[in-house]
Amino acid sequence: MTIKVGDKLPNATLIKATENGPDAVQADDYFAGRKIALFSVPGAFTPTCSARHLPGFVDKIDELKAKGVDEVACTAVNDAFVMGAWARQAGADGKVTMLADGNGAFVKALGLDSDFGKFGMGTRGQRFSMIVDDGVVKELNVEQPGEFKVSSAEYMLDQL
């Protein structure tokens, strides 16, 4: 079953990419007591993700925070080293928190996993964004395959 607005996020272990290396965090702890703008990409360094999705959140971070967002986080079915390298390359380091979901357990628990096998990528997360307030989904924006419309930072700003 796919998560929906009003649901509490499932608890899963995510690996936060930090300057000191990977740091395991529990979703229950990470999302507790804060408003998080979370977005998911099919993969770090992939075309739309690198050209539009992550840069949009980097560019709009101050506006998101001005509207009450405590933190902006990106997740992908990649390891923390790849997520960290991508953040550095994209100028997102220190702005967007990178949460690696290396085995896809988090997106599977959300019901937002997808088979990208035809691209040689295996099981990945769908492209989506959500506003999470104290662990509860307040807004959920899931893209149709191949699209980039409703999961952007601009779209999220209109929801806040």
For the record, the structure tokens of 20 come out as 């000191």
Task: Choose the catalytic residue: 9, 15, 38, 49.
Answer: 49
Contacts of 76 (CB under 8 A, 6+ apart): 40, 41, 42, 43, 44, 49, 83, 100, 101, 124, 125
Residue with tokens 């229950």: 28
74 is catalytic: no
Residue type at 148 in one-letter notation = F
Catalytic residues: 49
